[in-house]
Structure 1
Amino acid sequence: MILRRDLAPTIVEELKKQGKKVVFTNGCFDILHVGHLTYLNEAKRQGDILIVGVNSDSSVKRLKGESRPINNEIDRGEMLCGLKAVDYTVIFHEDTPMELIDELKPSIHVKGGDYKKEDLPETKIVEKHGGEVRILGFVEGKSTTNIVKKIQG
């Protein structure tokens, strides 16, 4: 289910009160591929509930260029919700998930292996709220950008 941003913090708070470990990750997830699937399955194994922050269309355009996203934010959010590992998605309009993380206060924030915990600006916010940042594996060579290049020939 795509959560309304204004309701998401209350839902996370309720889940944590029930003793659930809430895991958060984020991304554009423009064209789902096996790298995403592997990563999200690993993210889910870090806790009980997985919430995925999805960059809005305007955010993806700023980050990836005018020709992106291929799929709109609602379609991307719904596709992710269709995966077994994903419990909820929430769309955010900023370029980074820092404000959303500050609102949600997840138990665990995960990023892919192409990041370093100490370099992430999110680390301070997560730890300020008593959470933990974990860096997961990286599936080499799997990316939406590579898929788009292949389609364009």
Structure 2
Amino acid sequence: MTATPLPPPAFLSKLTSRAEAVQRVAALKAVGPVVFTNGVFDVLHRGHATYLAQARSLGTSLVVALNSDASARRLGKGPDRPLNAEADRAVLMAALESVSLVTWFDEDTPLELITELRPDILVKGGDYDMAKLAETRVVQAYGGRALAIPFVDGYSTTALVNKIRAQ
């Protein structure tokens, strides 16, 4: 008995190249406010899911920009991070209901991408001082908002990875 081939999951349509991201975000903005966040999102956990759902609630769509593997390695989280490759992280992110669009960036920060996409709202995790970020200044310069969402206590990818390694 042979398995019947199935079509690819619909959520894969949320993945977009950086080159196509400007047009895709413009289409989302025509519907309502676009929220933007970014990160490595290496090993998804409850804190990520809560954060992303809260971010989405601030607008009609949520764009997530993932650090490329090279960009993630430069963050100093360890020589073997990210554990999951950028393509795998992107697919998992796209599978989340709260996420509308997924793209990635190779720079150390998403400043250039934010300048290109011009989201209505920039959201970061609670450990960021939004007033000190160049990204905040760019978003506010064209009339957007920038805010931090508090962390869900007790959830951290680094802590989770350390716990797994200790087993």
1:14: Cα distance to partner? 2.5
| Alignment partner of 1:51 out of 63, 66, 69 | 63
Moved over 6 A (4+): none
Aligned equivalents of 2:34, 2:121: Cα separation in 1 = 6
Give the TM-score, by structure 2 length. 0.87
Where in structure 2 are the equivalents of 1:33-112 lying within 5 Å? 33-63=45-75, 64-112=77-125
Gaps of 5+ in 1: none
Name which of 27, 34, 38 aligns with 1:22: 34
TM-score after normalising by structure 1: 0.95
TM-superposed deviation, 1:72: 0.3
Give the superposition deviation at 1:53: 0.6
Q: CA deviation at 1:120?
A: 1.6
Following superposition, the deviation at residue 46 of structure 1 comes to: 0.3
Deviation at 1:15?
Answer: 2.4
C-alpha separation between the residues in 2 aligned to 1:51 and 1:19? 14
Distance of 1:130 and 1:9 partners within structure 2: 18
Choose 45-54 or 129-138, whichever is displaced more. 129-138
Segments of 5+ residues of structure 2 without an aligned counterpart are 1-13
Larger displacement relative to structure 2 (128-137 or 26-35): 128-137
Who is 1:13 aligned against?
A: 26
Contact 2:34–2:119, Cα closer than 8 Å, also in 1: yes
2:161 is equivalent to residue 148 of structure 1: yes
Structure 2 Cα separation of the partners of residues 79 and 2 of structure 1: 10
CA offset digits 1:94-143 (Å, max 9, x no partner): 11111110010000000111112212221111112221102112112211
Secondary structure of the structure 1 residue equivalent to 2:160? helix
Deviations 1:40-67 (A, max 9, x none): 0000000001000100000111112311
Q: Is the 8 A contact 2:31 2:60 kept in 1?
A: no
For the pair shown, the structure with the greater C-alpha radius of gyration is 2
Identity percentage of aligned residues: 48
